[in-house]
């Protein structure tokens, strides 16, 4: 039985779940990961991160009967016209692995002849109180950097091994998780979302004090 502050996190990505739980620590919310619930997949059919995040949040809320948070995020590379963008998780195909996606990304960049092309991680996060919420809370975060052609680092997931963070002189996958979770696109979106939801999710003791 979940508490009245239970919120479904609409993600099956274990790396994302781990990051999200670490970043949500201290907030009086019981995060219910999607794999705990028998919720079918939803096709990410929209053409923007925000629209996909809302789509996933509504879908999870409808099936779980709980409020839901979803995020949609991805990498945009300028020399590839913003690819892989909203298709980041399935760049090399619907069932592609992180390695498949990374290999395709580096191949396509190599074909352009670009060296260290500018890139950014984008994240849009959506909260819905229920499936029919007329005013979803949407937060966004951007993380600027560039792509290196040799993967480096063992932390993170997805494109982290090739996303170079100029402010820290290393790839995202070389950052300690606690550092990444302060400065990443997802961290920035979540900080904005937490500000938006702070009154709604404030601990009961604080709200009545």
| CATH of the domain spanning 6-208, picked from 3.50.50.60, 3.40.50.9100, 3.90.950.10, 1.10.760.10 | 3.90.950.10
Structure confidence at residue 173 as a pLDDT band (50, 70, 90): very high
Written in H, E and C, the secondary structure of the chain is CCCCCEEEECCCCHHHHHHHHHHHCCCCCEEEEHHHCCCCCCCCCCCCHHHHHHHHHHHHHHHHCCCEEEEEEEEEEHHHCCCEHHHHHHCCCCCCCHHHHHHHHHHHHHHHCCCCCEEEEEEEEEEECCCCCCCCEEEEEEEEEEECCCCCCCCCCCCHHHEEECCCCEEHHHCCHHHHHHHCHHHHHHHHHHHHHCCCCCCHHHHHC
Q: Which of 30, 47, 71, 72 is catalytic?
A: 72
In tens, the pLDDT along 80-125 reads: 999 999 999 999 998 899 999 999 999 999 999 999 999 999 999 9
Per the annotation, the verdict on 30 as an active-site residue is no
Structure confidence at residue 188 as a pLDDT band (50, 70, 90): very high
């Amino acid at each position: 039985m979940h508490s009245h502050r239970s919120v479904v996190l609409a993600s099956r990505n274990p790396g994302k779940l781990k990051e999200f739980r670490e970043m949500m620590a201290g907030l009086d919310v019981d995060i219910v990961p999607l794999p705990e619930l028998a919720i079918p997949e939803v096709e990410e059919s929209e053409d923007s991160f925000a629209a996909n995040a809302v789509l996933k949040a509504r879908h999870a809320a409808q099936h779980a009967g709980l409020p839901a948070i979803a995020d949609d995020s991805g990498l945009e590379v300028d020399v590839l016209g913003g690819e892989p963008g909203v298709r980041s998780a399935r760049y090399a195909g619907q069932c592609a692995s992180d390695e498949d996606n990374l290999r395709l990304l580096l191949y396509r960049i190599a074909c352009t002849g670009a060296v260290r092309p500018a890139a950014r991680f984008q994240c849009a996060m959506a909260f819905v109180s229920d499936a029919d919420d007329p005013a979803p809370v949407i937060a966004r975060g951007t993380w600027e950097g560039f792509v290196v052609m040799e993967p480096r680092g063992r932390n993170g997931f997805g494109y982290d091994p090739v996303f170079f963070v100029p402010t820290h002189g290393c790839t995202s996958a070389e950052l300690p998780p606690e550092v990444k979770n302060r400065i990443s696109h997802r961290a920035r979106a979540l900080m904005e979302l937490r500000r938006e939801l702070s009154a709604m999710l404030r601990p009961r003791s604080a709200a009545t004090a």
